[in-house]
Structure 1
Amino acid sequence: MAILKIARMGHPVLWQVAARVEDPTDDEVQRLIADMKDTLADAEGVGLAAPQVYVSRAVMMFFVPPSRTTEDEADDGVPLTVLINPEIEPIGDTRVGGWEGCLSIPGLQGYVPRWQRIRYRGVDETGVPIEREAEGFHARVVQHEYDHLMGVLYTERMDDMTQFGFNAELSRHATRDTDDET
């Protein structure tokens, strides 16, 4: 396996809508997934989408650490999940703001409104269908990674650019309304 280079904001691959994957069990797709797992672990993130490693394919992965789960989720968090050709839909009309970071925008964070609850579906790396409901941080990280597959960065979802800045400066100077960070 390999640790892949992560595309940064400004590279055109991050603006493209990712192509669907025809066969999740294809050797090339399996190699991509294995390399993405290594890259995510090395980068110490909670999510990664294929466009972030210069591959415009509808593959994303994420996990939710135990400390970030809601009351409705298991105490052990949400394990690493590979989601191929995902779809998401909001549940209800409630949107909540939260702080997000991104491996493609290193050292910066912004306050981003997201759907509080969603339903997502797709297939895993073996082609088995996945359908789940998520809320809180789980919903936020799924939406963030899904946006990468749609060619959208979190900065495009922000309502207030005064709540965008370098991590060090925000921690020293900004008043935070929430502690959500992806």
Structure 2
Amino acid sequence: MTSVHDHMPLAERVEELLAAGGPLPIVAAGQPVLRRATEPYDGQLGPALLARFVEALRLTMRAAPGVGLAAPQVGIPLRIAVVEDPAPVAGEIVTVRGRVPLPFRVLVNPVYEPVGGARAAFFEGCLSVPGWQAVVARHAEVRLRGSDEAGRPLDEVFTGWPARIVQHETDHLDGTLYLDRAELRSLSTNEAVAALWSQPAPAAAAEALGFELP
């Protein structure tokens, strides 16, 4: 089923979305926009509107709070995402997860490919699947290509937690949710993760809940 809104030009849809001001509403799992491949960005919004949209994505990501947000998560099927992680962690978590700060970045038409065969599995959540987390095995290192909001080329290798973030957000642009890649036996509420599985690595969860790690 489609609506009149679905047939509006993307620029009009973005203008309408921005008109309310403040953080944008985040689309939850079950909405078709999260399950469709996005349209490559090719100037559909124009420089000024793109800048306003990117700023709204940044505001919404920070308010949520999250470490990434893709355009379809606010109902716009364009291949654009933002990422940022101040990494407010210390000690063993930094070492085990490779969680280091990721400065604010805009990803336009990103695609990634693995670098090497190493994989890492950790609990992961999503702003479009609120209240839940699950263990996801992802490439430990990826090469990301695309561009930024000014059209400057992006070709960069990400490792550790930043690699996880860019994979998660790029997946959104292909209609993939983290649950599609998750070990479903690990599915836990946020409260359960905080109470039981806050260790740097999910080995205890794997043993207790009955799933394997790579």
TM-score class, shorter-chain normalisation, is: 0.7 to 0.9
Is structure 2 residue 144 aligned with structure 1 residue 115? no
- Could you tell me how far apart the structure 1 residues matched to 2:126 and 2:69 are? 9
Shift of 1:174: 4.6
Residue 18 (structure 1) aligns with: 38
User: How far did 1:9 drift?
Assistant: 0.8
1:2 corresponding residue in structure 2: 22
User: 2:69, 2:24 → 1: CA distance?
Assistant: 11
Corresponding position of 1:142 = 166
Aligned-pair Cα RMSD in Å: 2.4
Identity over the aligned pairs, expressed in percent? 35
- Identify which of structures 1 and 2 has the higher relative contact order when contacts are C-alpha pairs closer than 8 Å and 6+ apart: 1
Asked whether the 8 Å contact 1:70–1:136 carries over to 2, the reply is no
Matches within 5 A, 1:157-172: 157-158=181-182, 160-172=183-195
Q: What CA distance in whole angstroms lies between the structure 1 residues aligned with 2:41 and 2:194?
A: 40
Contact 1:59/1:84 (CA < 8 Å) preserved in 2?
Answer: yes
Q: Once structures 1 and 2 are overlaid, which stretch shifts more, 57-66 or 42-51?
A: 57-66
Q: Deviation per CA, 1:64-118, whole angstroms, max 9, x where unpaired? A: 32446679x9x7x221000100111100111110110110011110000100000
C-alpha distance in structure 2 between counterparts of 1:66 and 1:25, whole Å: 33
Question: TM-score, length-normalised on structure 1?
Answer: 0.87
Which of the two has greater helix per residue?
Answer: 2
Tell me the TM-score normalised to structure 2 length: 0.75
Distance 1:70 1:51, change over 3 A: farther
Query: 2:111: which partner in 1?
Result: 87
How many correspondences in the alignment? Answer: 176
1:145 partner amino acid: E
More strand by share: 1
Q: Give 2:76's match in structure 1, choosing from 55, 59, 62.
A: 55
Quick one: structure 1 residues 87 and 99, their matched pair in 2 at CA, closer, same or farther if it must change by over 3 Å? same
Contact 1:64 1:78 in 2 (8 A): yes
What are structure 1's unaligned runs of at least 5 residues?
Answer: none
The verdict on how the C-alpha distance between 1:176 and 1:110 changes in structure 2, with shifts beyond 3 A counting, is: farther
Does structure 2 retain, via aligned residues, the 8 Å contact 1:20–1:57?
yes
Are the counterparts in 2 of residues 9 and 104 from structure 1 also a CA contact under 8 Å? yes
CA gap of 1:67–1:132, structure 2 versus 1, over 3 A, is farther
Moved over 3 A (4+): 24-28, 66-71, 173-177
Listed as ranges, the gaps of 5+ residues in structure 2 are 1-20, 203-214
Shift of 1:138: 0.5
